[in-house]
């Protein structure tokens, strides 16, 4: 094994990128470069624990083709793992051009740079179950037609096609994997799962310390998703990049749970006794109570213009090819996130 190989991970400050950095530093001897976009205020929280000399942060703007070319020529990576994205689905309606530039044009920029300067480099493109969108059947496998219902989903569909075109046209090792929802301890607080666990942690603290309880708000609590742990997925991605031949994959838990299920489990692991007041005729009147206090209410602003009501993947074939199985169940995932956020909130209040 060549220990002098270089790996470039985009989006290294995010959930998947930072988890991949950790995994590769622990399981390989390669040099790891994590890219980030320079901001006026740095946000490297997910990487602050890494003192490893084999890891370096590099400034890279993936929306700028010349920035990508300069980085590729300087590092000459043997692998490029592209986790950088405008990944907040709800925002994609508000910033459609930025979403496509970040999620789609950047893939072309990377593949062009690989084709011209480092044709032996192996490239990974992160896809999304949002590509399936207006679903035809359950569960969704790799053969399911692409029918996105969001700008974000459409941008990932385009990326998938671009990867295939470059793979077929230039014989590149370029792969695209449809990732169903995956969460974890480093998930951003704007995502619904982390929004739930951080607010449950806060409410638990407020209840236990006789403080005013401020309810939080969600949209469609009956939307169903296929949730996995990000730390499981990065292990599978590395396996994909080291197969003999490149192909498309799908990663999922093969289960589906509603947003309400996630809330219920979060309250359970926070030891909160709750009671729902469900209004089926007018969902906006639905409320969740704890100790006779409202802790959750519904806000129509959090409903999507075009909702994807039910997603559940079938990654059976991927699991066989990669000899991979997840280590964390849905229950494990929720428990880990809740316990972590309770600990973080208590530390904040000290």
Token pair, residue 4, equals: 């002098």
Of the listed 33, 109, 124, 152, which one is catalytic? 152
119 HSE (CA, 13 A, CB side): 7
Of 63, 40, 168, 49, the closest CA to residue 109 belongs to 63
| Residue of 33, 124, 129, 130 with catalytic role | 130
Give residue 40's pLDDT: 38
Q: Is 255 a catalytic residue?
A: no
Q: Give the per-residue pLDDT at 14.
A: 93
Q: Residue 302 catalytic?
A: no
pLDDT at site 94 = 82
Q: Which domains does the chain have, with CATH numbers?
A: 6-184+227-254+313-327 (3.40.50.720), 192-223+258-311+333-349 (3.90.25.10)
Alpha carbon dihedral 300, 301, 307, 308, in 10-degree steps, equals: -100
Q: Please say if 331 is a catalytic residue.
A: no
What is the full DSSP assignment across 210-263?
Answer: TPPPPPEEES-TT-EE--EEHHHHHHHHHHHTTSSS---EEE--S--EEHHHHH
Cα 195 from chain centre: 14
Q: What is the pLDDT along the chain (350 residues), one digit of tens a residue?
A: 466 899 999 999 999 999 999 999 999 999 999 998 764 345 567 776 776 689 999 999 999 999 999 999 999 999 999 999 886 566 766 888 899 999 999 999 999 999 999 999 999 999 999 999 999 999 999 999 999 998 899 999 999 999 999 999 999 999 999 999 999 999 999 899 999 999 999 999 999 999 999 999 999 999 999 999 999 999 999 999 999 999 999 999 999 999 999 999 999 999 999 999 999 999 999 999 999 999 999 999 998 776 667 889 999 999 999 999 999 999 999 999 999 999 999 999 98
- pTM, two decimals, is 0.93
Q: Which of 92, 125, 128, 266 is catalytic?
A: 128
């Amino acid at each position: 094994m060549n220990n002098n190989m270089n790996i470039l991970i985009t989006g290294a400050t995010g959930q998947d990128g930072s988890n991949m950095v950790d995994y590769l530093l622990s399981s390989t001897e390669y040099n790891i470069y994590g890219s980030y976009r320079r901001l006026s205020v740095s946000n490297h929280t997910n990487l602050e624990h890494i003192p490893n000399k084999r890891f370096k942060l590099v400034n890279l703007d993936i929306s700028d083709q010349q920035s990508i070319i300069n980085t590729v020529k300087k590092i000459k990576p043997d692998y490029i793992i592209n986790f950088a994205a405008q990944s907040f689905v709800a925002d994609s309606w508000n910033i459609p051009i930025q979403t496509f530039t970040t999620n789609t044009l950047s893939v072309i920029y990377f593949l062009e740079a690989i084709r011209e300067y480092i044709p032996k480099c192996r490239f990974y493109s992160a896809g999304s179950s949002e590509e399936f969108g207006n679903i035809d059947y359950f569960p969704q496998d790799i053969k399911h037609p692409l029918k996105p219902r969001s700008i974000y989903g459409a941008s990932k569909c385009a990326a998938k096609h671009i990867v295939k075109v470059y793979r077929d046209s230039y014989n590149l090792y370029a792969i695209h994997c449809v990732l169903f929802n995956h969460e974890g301890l480093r998930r951003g607080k704007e995502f619904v799962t982390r929004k739930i666990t951080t607010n449950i942690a806060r409410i638990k603290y407020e209840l236990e310390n006789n403080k005013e309880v401020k309810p939080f708000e969600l949209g469609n609590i009956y939307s169903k998703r296929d949730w996995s742990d990000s730390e499981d997925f990065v292990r599978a991605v590395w396996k994909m990049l080291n197969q003999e031949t490149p192909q498309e994959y799908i990663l999922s838990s093969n289960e589906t749970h509603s947003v309400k299920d996630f809330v219920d489990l979060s309250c359970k692991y926070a030891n909160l006794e709750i009671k729902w007041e469900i209004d089926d005729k007018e969902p906006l009147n639905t409320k969740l109570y704890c100790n006779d206090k409202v802790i959750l209410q519904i806000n129509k602003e959090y409903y999507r213009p075009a909702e994807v009501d039910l997603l559940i993947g079938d990654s059976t074939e991927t699991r066989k090819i990669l000899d991979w199985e997840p280590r964390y169940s849905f229950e494990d995932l929720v428990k880990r996130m809740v316990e972590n956020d309770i600990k973080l909130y208590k530390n904040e209040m000290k």
